[in-house]
Structures are given as structure tokens and as C-alpha cells.
Structure 1
């Protein structure tokens, strides 16, 4: 397997050469939204943080994209997105933004991303969601092999990801899935509240006891719902059981008292205690 750094660089060069000549091929390019656009303070966002996009047509500072989740097409500033290769290699994502993305709902323990430095191309870090988010610097040898721990070196980043997906081997946990692979952005449609049915002018004094605990009155015309009747019946049954248990306990208590007759043989000074 060839060195991944060379593969990524060659791919970037090829993309720049083909942006104008074959725009249809750009739909295979994956991007992720780094922050809601536009800001919720301005209007309802068209694209939300963590949403996956495909490039339709890039321009100088604005790219026309299509949402993978919703299918919406629109323009977004290139400063609000980051390219994603292989599902886990995020281009130009800073540490804080990586933590925000990994903490989105849907990312589980072991979700990860490899992010390229925003300052120097070719420098990478591994970010992993655990109890928090852990970050590991990925270093390179003179022969361009990669490593996190010097005792384990890998010819390319893909080999490294494959290894740490099988074994934690010093990391906080084994890698499970790329960041955002299972995230579905919230729907724009607001949830519909369930209807509330109320009966006005309800007078408990007019309710017959049979309507509360009786099993024969289960028709729709009953003033008390089935749930209320069931709750009341359960309460009365529980209260009745407790009262019966208390009565039985008091009865046993009375029966267990021993009755003594003080003999006339000079032992009148002995104090006898009731035997419980």
C-alpha cells in the first residue's frame, strides 16, 4: 500500500486540474459543515454543523453544494466547510472544532478523525471521542512512515487507522467509526405537539363510585377515562391490602400476649413482662 500522503497530494492536484473540465465528478467530493450557515441569529440555517455535503460547483469563495441528508442544494462559503477524504481525514480542522464535531449526538465512544494541521500541510493529529476527546500527534520518520508511539510505525495513515481499529494499543480506546458517520442533523420541521383533550366543568361530586372502580362501565360515555379508573382502582386495592395487613398484625399482637395470674405463694414481688 502506497504512502497516503502522496496519494492525498496527487488527488488534490488532480482535483484542481479537473474542477473546470468535469464538474460532474465533483459530486463525489465530500465536505462537512463546520458551523451553521447562515447563523441562527440571522435566519433559519440552510446547512447545520456536522451536515455532510457534496460539491456541485466550486467558485472563488462560494461553493454550490448538495446536502447528503436532505438533498437541498444551495451556496455556502468555503470558510464554513472542510473537505473529508476516506471518511475520516478532515482537511484544515482545528482542535476545538474537532471536539465540537466529535461531541455531536450520534458519535459514539471510539469515533475519530484524522485532521490535517491548519498551519503546515502534511502534519496530522488523531482525535478520538472517549470520556472527553483525546488528541494524539501523528509524527513522521525520515522515510515518511507514520507513528504515534515510536514502537509502532506504519507505511501510511490507512494502515495506522486499520491497526488502531483492531487494538487500542496505548490509545484511550480502539477506534470504532469515523466522526459523523452515524450523525443525522436535526430536521427543520418542528415536532408536532400531541392534541390535548379536556373536559370542562368536571364535578367529582357527581361521579358515581361505580364509574371509578367498576368494570362494567367502560363505555365512551363514561366521565372518567380508563387510565384514571385504573389508577384509582389500584390505589384503593393497595390501601385495602394495607388495612387488612394492619388488622391481621394487630390481631396477632393481641393473641400473642400471655396472661399471668400472680400465685399466692409469696412470689408477688416478681414483675412479669408480656411476651411478644
Structure 2
């Protein structure tokens, strides 16, 4: 049964009343009871309908601004969900920065965790899918172009390895360094049918090697500077982590008659007690007398 909107006999409009209820089941005995409405209107409803909660859901017209607010919230919620999904994806794509092992590239000696791009997975045996080890793929590609070989401790790369390395360089957007292209030029030089074709391939290979050699030198300097900065930071942190009061204080040992130095903390271990307590205990054990005042 649906009733509304309701208007009084005088024609003055009041706040519309919307009711939406299910029809009573067949055979239900109705007890008509009056229900007072605004403006003195009268209406009769069954006793069963009067038992409906006063705060029943409003199925009438939406509140003012509700539809507009819903339209405003939808793109915002979608943007937040997309941002959260993008953050999770970025966290997953930088998996090598969360490695527990302190792995170093066997070619450059640079830590794998500090690479700004994913490492290259080189198979130990090219005929098997695994196992593999991680190395700096950009460094490997440029070294292959410049020297024609990967380096000590690295097996010779097969055609399938070069294809995978070229795809890795392109996928990670690491520049125009394609060792597969360099090897193709070398083969063209060896099998050129005319002298002009051979000269052209030689010139292209030289230009490619020269550009790659310059970029390889830049990469070496960047990684060396990064390692030097890390070593400096480690020294600073190790100094700051030590307890204060490392200044040596002169005391008279008594038995030797010479001024002795007591260092805080001892070089071989760090104590959790304050400096003055440690110094007092050391003086008591040695029987020394303080020759002058000092401040820790």
C-alpha cells in the first residue's frame, strides 16, 4: 500500500508523506484505528502497520544534496582505491630492495639492494630454467658491448641469454644498450659480401662501443661515489652510536706515581652504566686517588 503525497482540504501544501509497505497477508483482520497527521488530516491504517518502527528507512525522495554528494564521493573513492592499488604495485615491483642477503653484483661489486632498477636474472645453466643469480643487468649489457665478453666468473652468454638481456634493457628503459645488436654487427662484419657493407658495420659498431664506453664510465663513477658515501655514513653512525664521554681523564694511580689515562667506554666492550659510575668503580679497584677535578 502506498499513500502520498497528502494535501489538506484547504489546499495548503504540507510536507509530503511517503509510505511504502507490503500488502497484508490474506485473511488478516483489520482493526481500523485513527492516525493523526500534520494539519489535522485523518487516515486509517491497520494495527499491524502501526507496529512498524518509527525510524523505518525512508524510501521517498532523497535528501537535499544527497545525490550531489554521492556523485562527488564516487570519483574520490575511486581515486583513493587506485592510489592504494598503485602503492601496493610499486611496493611489489621493488622486491630486490627488500632482500635479506647482502648480495653484490659479481661484475661491479655494487650491492643489489641499492640498484635503482631491477637486477637481471642470469641462469647458471643456459639449458635449465634455474637456478639463477642476480647481477646488474645494465652493467652487464654495456660490458658485453664494450669488451665483447661478460667478465671473470660469468659464463659466456648464448643467443637466448642475449635475447633475454635485450628484452630486460627495453622493459626497464635502461637506454639503447643492446648486446644482441652488437653481436649482430660483429657477425655482419665477418660475413659481409661487399667491402662497403663491412665498412658500414664496422663504423656502426665503433660508434655504439664509444657511446657505451662513455656511459659505462659514468655508471662506474656513480656507483663508486654511492659506495664512498655509504662508508662515510657508516663511520658517522658508528661514532654517534658510541656513548658520550670518550675524553681521557688523568688520574694518579699511586703505585706507579705516573699520571694514567682512563678511557670511557673501554674499547673492547660498551657498558650500560653511566660514565661516573664506571670511573668510580675502576678507581676503587685500582686504589688510585683523584689528582684533580674533571667533568664527564
Query: What TM-score do you get using the length of structure 1 for normalisation?
Result: 0.19
Give the structure with the higher percent strand: 1
Higher relative CO (CA 8 A, sep ≥ 6), structure 1 or 2? Answer: 1
Query: What TM-score do you get using the length of structure 2 for normalisation?
Result: 0.18
Rg larger in 1 or in 2?
A: 2
Give the structure with the higher percent helix: 2
